[in-house]
Amino acid sequence: MYKNRSKKGMTDMSEFTLKTRLLAALEGKPVDKTPVCSVTQTGIVELMDEVGAPWPESHTSPELMAKLALANHELSGLEAVRVPYCLTVLVEAMGCEINMGTKNRQPSVTGHPYPKEIEGATIPADLLQRGRIPAVLEAIKIVREKVGPDVPIVGGMEGPITVASDLISVKSFMKWSIKKPELFEQALDLATEASIIYANAMVEAGADVIAIADPVASPDLMSPDSFKQYLQPRLQKFSANVNSVTILHICGNVNAVLDYMADCGFEGLSVEEKIGSVKKAKEIIGTRARLVGNISSPFTLLPGPVDKINAEAKQALADGIDVLAPGCGIAPMTPLENIKAMVAARDEYYA
Ligand SMILES: [Zn+2]
């Protein structure tokens, strides 16, 4: 049942740590078993109550941010620790207005710094000191101190395409992509540059993997042609310049752009259940990237029951998923029991 077992020179499989296993799996190297973790948001209300680290406070306090992240590793068995819980940290530092949400609702962008014109916009020299960026970097350091060197830390963030859209508003993003391509490209370039700086700061702080979620890059919003022409070069630049293993998460049914995603230079592609077949997706991607996912967050992990979670997780493993994970951000009301069920399914699969 070992996947990718190499014929010779196989290292002692028992030597894997959670970190080396996840990194090997993402890099397409042989592993003893498929890792199970979440590369998308992990905050759930049950754990907020259990450890006393509720939203929205844990979006801002490094101690609470670390505490909640650790809880969904220590108490659920997920094999990585991931921070933070939103897609607003970088864009806030770049000038967006944020509504911090509630205990079960994520922060959201409510105001955009460049809705009409992006000419002359620059990255603030003190970017890494702004907003909640210092809190995220501190949280990563706290987590590292608590888990030691052998547990992987996933630094999550909004991807460059979503950053660009947040800077100028979705409306301008759509309009400029057709009518003002020069401004559109300026926004994308500024966003990409800022994203690289922030990602590398997280790596410097101790993140082993950078996982970007880029919902605005979804075929639901941008055409496959636009993806290829405008988005792919920026995503390639991002992955090439970030000093860690990287994962690209795009929401929705990404089949129309999956081939292009595989050429973006990310080790992992995180996808939802909406892609349909894991096997087909793996065929399209080939050896260019590894597939992460794709247990439905809203339709399986949130409602359960555990039998369904168990069956879908084992099916994903049988179909060759490289990292077993939720298909998108874990819904805050998801019971801990359901996350444990996904981990247990992986353990049973290899038992
Ligand atoms: Zn998603």
Alpha-carbon span 166 to 98, nearest angstrom: 11
Question: How remote is the CA of residue 266 from the centroid of ligand 1, in Å?
Answer: 16
Average pLDDT over residues 23-39: 98
Q: How far is the CA of 120 from the centre of ligand 1 (A)?
A: 32
Quote the ligand 1 centre to 131 CA distance (angstroms): 24
- What share of the chain has pLDDT > 90, as a percent? 95
Q: Is the pLDDT of residue 285 over 70?
A: yes
* Residue of higher predicted confidence among 6 and 346: 346
In-domain check, residue 189: yes
User: Within a domain: residue 182?
Assistant: yes
**pLDDT score, position 29:** 97
Q: Does 213 have pLDDT greater than 80?
A: yes
pLDDT at 310 over 80: yes
End-to-end CA distance of the chain: 10
**Distance from residue 270's CA to the centre of ligand 1 (Å):** 8
CA 216–ligand 1 middle distance (angstroms): 10
Domain annotation covers residue 76: yes
27 within a domain of the structure (yes/no): no
Q: What does the chain come to in residues?
A: 351
pLDDT digits (tens, 9 = 90+) for 121-159: 999 999 999 999 999 999 999 999 999 999 999 999 999
Number of domains in the chain: 1
Cβ neighbours, 10 Å, residue 47:
25
Q: Which domain holds residue 117?
A: 39-349
Which pTM does this prediction carry? 0.95
d(CA 147, CA 269): 26
Separation of CA 72 and ligand 1 centre (Å): 19
What is the average per-residue pLDDT within 84-102?
98
What is the whole-number distance in angstroms between the Cα of residue 251 and the centre of ligand 1? 4
- CA of 119 from ligand 1 middle (Å) equals 31
Distance 231 CA to ligand 1 centre (A): 17
Mean pLDDT computed over 163-174:
97
**How far apart are the CA of 88 and the centre of ligand 1, in A?**
14
The pLDDT of residue 1 is 41
Question: Which pLDDT does position 12 carry in this prediction?
Answer: 54
Compute the distance from residue 176 Cα to the ligand 1 centre, in Å: 24
* Residue 259 domain-assigned (yes or no): yes
Share the mean pLDDT of the chain: 96
Does residue 6 belong to any structural domain of this protein? Answer: no
pLDDT of residue 13: 58
Residue 11 forms part of a structural domain: no
Residues whose CB is less than 8 angstroms from the CB of residue 124 and which lie 6 or more positions away in sequence, other chains included = 93, 94, 130
In the reported structure, the alpha carbon of residue 178 is separated from the centroid of ligand 1 by a whole-number distance in angstroms of 25
The predicted structure's pLDDT at residue 273? 97
* 107: CATH: 3.20.20.210
Q: Is the pLDDT of residue 7 over 50?
A: no
In a domain, 32, yes or no: no
Buried b (16+ CB within 10 A) or exposed e, 90-116: bbbbbbbebebbeeeebbebeebebee
**Is residue 9's pLDDT more than 50?**
no
- CA of 330 relative to ligand 1 center, distance in Å: 9
Residue 22 DSSP SS3:
helix
Mean pLDDT across the stretch 109-130? 96
